[in-house]
Amino acid sequence: MKSKSSSSRHPLAGKRMTGAEMIIQVLAQEGVDTVFGYTGGAILPTYDAIFRYNLEHQSSPSEQVQLIVPANEQGAGFMAAGYARASGKVGVFIVTSGPGATNSVTPIRDSMADSVPVVLICGQVARGAIGTDAFQEAPVFNLMSSCAKHVFLIEEPEDLEITVRTAFGIARSGRPGPVVIDVPKDVQNWEGIFKGEGVIHFQGYESRMTALAKSRLTEQECKDFYDLLQQCERPLICAGGGIISGDAAPQLREFSRLFQIPVVTTLMGIGSIDTTDRLSLHMLGMHGMAYANYAVMDCDFLITVGARFDDRVAGKVQEFAPKARFFAHIDIDAAEIGKVKSVTWFHIGSARQALSDLLQHRKDFQKDFSKWIEHIDNLKKQHVRNYDRESQTIQPPQVLECLNEITSGEAIVCTGVGQHQMWAAQYLDFRNPRSLITSGSMGTMGFGLPAAIGAQMAFPDRLVIDVDGDGSMRMNLGELETATTYGLPVKILVLNNQGDGMVRQWQRLYFGNRFSGSDKSLRQKDFVKTAEADGFVFSTRLTDKSRLKETLKKFVEFQGPAFLEVMVDPEACVYPMVGPGMGYQEMITGDFIVGREPGKDAFDRSTKKSDAF
């Protein structure tokens, strides 16, 4: 392994220190201000190094590395992910060997699935004990290799410093993802000379990253794109999580506005475009807006940027965007091009740079898409999101509509997974990128609360709300205490429908109302008392629909951590819904959203100059 020299010399270069001290020095050098984690025997030297490092920097608190100790290691991982998703920086968590490492598998896989840059530092038994089934030993390298972007096992102490530094580069470069470093305890205790510089060279990876950094759209490629755009009448942009992770929202918004092309987003792409913008169609897919899905059915050119046509979006792939004559795809990961959907035009590279290149090479391109925009406006009016507004019970969408009036789309919202997650995505506005933090691909229940804590650590002065369900809240309930321990003003809103609502919805639709394992109405958990026991001064249960707005306002405006449980209609379902393996034409809109008549296609008559435009 070779190291790469740097022109700036670290002030501690040449100093003798332990491996654990080197780890902390590199974290500080990488700009890490917060780490999340739970200690244990095999990681004790590193935790001791954090303590001593902060002691040395007592006079400069801003230079300290704040340590947040959760209830368990899964919570630590989701906190690091929430921090990373909200800030765009690499999140860091540090755990011990054995169960500490195995408890971290889920957040690592979750981060990999959603392209989130985190670094996990695991303690490991001493090198001489590896493979002997020593106390709290686990095969971290084997377990994590199939879940992470990259995994390191430190076998030579001299490689520790450059390995930690390299991990950050891998985590944040290209398509971001989680990197795991397994550090034996004797390597943490080893003493050596701190170099203050250097990384490990991976020739193939570096070549790919260099190529991506240099990847630009040529004038001819831009001309080819605009030739396709010139031939179409109904272009539609599908923006995914790559817009968020690639910081490409400003370019996307400029591109959309300039050419007047409407935008649908995936769940991970929410916030790419201001959801209050006329050109925003909000989310598409299984529980996307009806009008967004109908727009996909009607478009003749789908321009996908930083999205991957996953099953919750594309559904029945062969019937996805059936009227589209052309498909364009921009993605930083070559493996995603053509993986699910064949495309007409593509580019492998940064979404930010690609959109900038297209804007730069637009030359005199002009085309009037006003009739398409009028059609989009009509779709929004005709198929507007809706629910049972006359119900005597509190409807979950009503809670979120009311919350939206208070926050005006400016809050950072984290969610668990289930119906509440979809309602939050549907009924809340998001004016800025990195405002919705949710577990997309993995769909991990228990994500919301710890992720909100991580986001709040990244932005102490912003309003952070965890919109959760009673099922997801149970998963990592112990993290309530973490919020109060560190005085974090996170707001936790639990929509309690006394069960696993999304599972029950599927059981109602596809399993003959056999609610096997999903009905929690007999459970005795008192969430309000639990929150009170964990130090929440504001901890309230709401059952009266007439007090909804005033209670939500008090909840949001409370100075400090706040917990609000709202008892909602247990029979409420999330609509629209595109069933598993079905196409958009089979979308169920429920009783309160207007759907299209079977067989009706707004563009069947378009060639006859119909009123579709």
Give 190-205 pLDDT, tens digit per residue: 999 999 999 999 999 9
pLDDT of residue 7: 52
* Residue 487 CB coordination number (10 Å): 10
Active-site hit among 89, 149, 185, 380:
185
Give 342-366 pLDDT, tens digit per residue: 999 999 999 999 999 999 999 889 9
Residue 9 per-residue DSSP state? P
Q: Is the pLDDT of residue 407 over 60?
A: yes
All structural domains of the chain, each given as residue ranges with its CATH number in brackets, are 16-211 (3.40.50.970), 216-382 (3.40.50.1220), 396-567 (3.40.50.970)
Cβ atoms of residues 301 and 343 within 8 Å: no
Cβ atoms of residues 148 and 178 within 8 Å: yes
Active-site hit among 502, 527, 536, 587:
502
Q: Is the pLDDT of residue 603 over 90?
A: no
pLDDT of residue 8: 72
pLDDT of residue 597: 80
pLDDT of residue 581: 85
Active-site hit among 29, 64, 66, 136:
136
Kindly indicate the confidence band of residue 521, based on its pLDDT and cuts at 50, 70 and 90: confident
Q: Is the pLDDT of residue 4 over 70?
A: no
Q: Is the pLDDT of residue 609 over 80?
A: no
| Percentage of the chain lying above the pLDDT 70 cut | 96
Active-site hit among 21, 30, 73, 137:
73
Q: Is the pLDDT of residue 130 over 90?
A: yes
Q: Residue 561: what residue type?
A: P
Kindly indicate the confidence band of residue 606, based on its pLDDT and cuts at 50, 70 and 90: very low
**What is the spatial distance between Cα 397 and Cα 200, in angstroms, rounded to a whole number?**
50
**What is the spatial distance between Cα 8 and Cα 260, in angstroms, rounded to a whole number?**
47
**What is the spatial distance between Cα 261 and Cα 606, in angstroms, rounded to a whole number?**
19
Q: Is the pLDDT of residue 470 over 60?
A: yes
pLDDT of residue 598: 67
Q: How large is the average pLDDT for residues 265-275?
A: 98
Q: How far is CA 141 from CA 97, 131, 236, 479, in A?
A: 12, 12, 43, 28
Residue 244 per-residue DSSP state? H
Q: Is 416 helix (H, G, I), strand (E, B) or coil?
A: coil
Pairing of strands 464-469, 491-496: parallel
Answer yes or no: 135 catalytic. yes
Closest CA to 404 of 359, 352, 465, 354: 465
Q: Is the pLDDT of residue 20 over 70?
A: yes
Give 212-226 pLDDT, tens digit per residue: 999 999 999 999 999
Closest CA to 243 of 362, 353, 327: 353
**What is the spatial distance between Cα 491 and Cα 59, in angstroms, rounded to a whole number?**
32
Segment among 18-27, 299-308, 358-367, 538-547 with least mean pLDDT: 358-367
pLDDT of residue 220: 96
Q: Is the pLDDT of residue 447 over 70?
A: yes
Cβ atoms of residues 235 and 300 within 8 Å: yes
Answer yes or no: 390 catalytic. no
pLDDT of residue 605: 41
Answer yes or no: 73 catalytic. yes
Active-site hit among 1, 63, 135, 191:
135
- pTM beyond 0.85: the answer is yes
pLDDT of residue 544: 97
Q: Is the pLDDT of residue 504 over 80?
A: yes
Q: Is the pLDDT of residue 612 over 60?
A: no
Q: Is the pLDDT of residue 545 over 90?
A: yes
**What is the spatial distance between Cα 111 and Cα 414, in angstroms, rounded to a whole number?**
15
pLDDT of residue 599: 58
pLDDT of residue 203: 94
pLDDT of residue 610: 32
Pairing of strands 191-193, 16-18: antiparallel
**What is the spatial distance between Cα 75 and Cα 103, in angstroms, rounded to a whole number?**
9
Answer yes or no: 185 catalytic. yes
Q: Is the pLDDT of residue 60 over 80?
A: yes
Q: How large is the average pLDDT for residues 485-491?
A: 98
Q: Is the pLDDT of residue 289 over 70?
A: yes
Q: How large is the average pLDDT for residues 400-429?
A: 98
Closest CA to 184 of 101, 250, 122, 273: 122
| Percentage of the chain lying above the pLDDT 90 cut | 94
Question: 574 CB contacts (<8 Å, ≥6 apart)?
Answer: 287, 419, 422, 423, 426, 502, 505
Closest CA to 487 of 407, 550, 559, 419: 559
pLDDT of residue 600: 59
Give 144-157 pLDDT, tens digit per residue: 999 999 999 999 99
Q: Is 539 helix (H, G, I), strand (E, B) or coil?
A: strand
